Chain A
Amino acid sequence: MNPNPDLALLIGYLYGELSPEEHQRAQALLDQHPELAAEVQALRHTRRWLQAADAPPAAVAPPVLLVPRSSRLQRWGWAAAACWLLLLSGWVLLRPAPAAQAAAQPWQPDTAALRAWITAAVQAETAPLPAAADSLRTELAHLAARQRQAQAAQASRLTAELTRLLRQQRTEDLDAINEAFRRFALEQEDARLVDNQRFATVFAKLQQYERENSFAP
């Protein structure tokens, strides 16, 4: 469409979007042509209809927020996620195990003690069979309880550290937050793998002990 240049000028005049020179030209045009002035006046009335009869629709809140609205909320969101992880970890680690007894003393995470215990358990082969097996199971339960407590403490420490880190972060540092979470997850995974190896060793010893002594589990 190639509109009449006067038409574009009139519309620009109607909406006040003309340069001073164009405005002057439009005004002169309207002065010279009353029919054009009447046309502009009619368009003004129509515009008035559009404004007077309109009822602006009520706005609605944005239905989807892709992320929390502010960095503050974002930090709280991450902190909530960390707490959730902590609770989940706690539930996994501290859930009741058969015959488990809580150990009062804090766990010392040195493998030397574990090795000594395993050595003692193996040496217990010379003891009466039921007593040796019971002792082995009891010790295993103690070990499990201590490890759960230690893991919960570790998770708590990591979560506190992560929360502190998150509170220091600004919105621009999302990568750092993600990296912190990745480290947190890796540490948890490492701890779980180490414990799995320990338990596997102890259980292997127990099974070997029971097999060699024909002890019915």
Chain B
Amino acid sequence: MDDLWIERARRGDAAAFNALMQHWHPRIYRYVRRYFARYAAAGEDGPMAAEVAQKTFISAYEGLGRLRRNAGFRSWLYRIAINHCHAEERRRKPDPLPEDAGTFQVQAWGAGPEGDLTHDDLQRWLQEALRRIPAEQREVVLLKEYEHLTFREIAEALQIPESTAKSRLYYGLKALRQVLEGWRLTPEHLYHES
């Protein structure tokens, strides 16, 4: 169905583009919101995601004629979204991370290895862990784990070699594991929680 919409949208059918937007906007919005999850505490992630998603589709509408092949639409759309995410980040102040922030927050959340963890606890810890890994690795983790892009699509979206995408994902997962282990969080917490 996407192919039909894309083809018609490329020929200037605005209704077809709307259909594409209806289909893809929720996914782009969710990706961008996860991308900006570290602004959730300030309640800024939602508005930022809405704005970036809107910019993404405006850019897509303007640039659809330059899309070379329909099959590349998904990675092309994510690439636009990622570029807008980067632009939004450049516009904002740096986000310094205190050295002891992790320890402090883990204690504040009150859950040790023996404690009971709610899903909200797990979510906060995961967001904090994601925040602590390099941005380029986090991007790949989000695109793979939540958007389910293929490695080829990730490579196209980020304009990097496929092998680099795999490498970033590997090191990103490894870095996440080290952060979680540093907080003494083990797989047993997950199994206990679920």
**Chain B: how many interface residues by the 8 Å CB criterion?**
51
Residues from 121 to 151 in A contacting B, C-beta threshold 8 Å: none
Cβ contact within 8 Å between B166 and A50: no
In the complex, are the beta carbons of B15 and A57 less than 8 A apart? no
- Alpha-carbon distance between A118 and B24 when the two chains are bound, in angstroms: 67
Nearest CB to that of A48 among chain B residues?
B190
Q: Are B14 and A66 in contact (CB under 8 A)?
A: yes
Distance between B19 CB and nearest chain A CB, rounded to angstroms: 7
Q: Is B54 an interface residue (CB 8 A)?
A: yes
Contact segment of A5-13, A158-166, A201-209? A5-13
A52–B190 contact, CB under 8 A? yes
Give the distance in Å from the alpha carbon of A87 to the alpha carbon of B164 in the complex: 63
Mark each residue of chain B from 128 to 158: 1 if its CB lies under 8 Å from any CB of chain A, else 0. Answer: 0100000000000100111000110000000
A143 to B4 CA separation, bound complex (whole angstroms): 57
Contact A53 B30 (CB under 8 A): no
A12 to B15, CA, bound (A): 39
Instruction: Provide 5 A-B residue pairs closer than 8 Å at the C-beta atoms, listed in order of the A residue.
Output: A11-B166, A57-B29, A60-B26, A64-B57, A70-B15
Whether A3 lies near B173 (C-beta < 8 A) is no
Q: Does B18 contact A (CB under 8 A)?
A: yes
Distance, CA A2 to CA B104, complexed state (A): 37
Please judge, given known A-B contacts A49-B190, A54-B126, A54-B146, whether A1 and B164 are in contact too, CB under 8 Å: yes
Task: Tell me the nearest residue of chain A to B12, going by C-beta.
Answer: A174
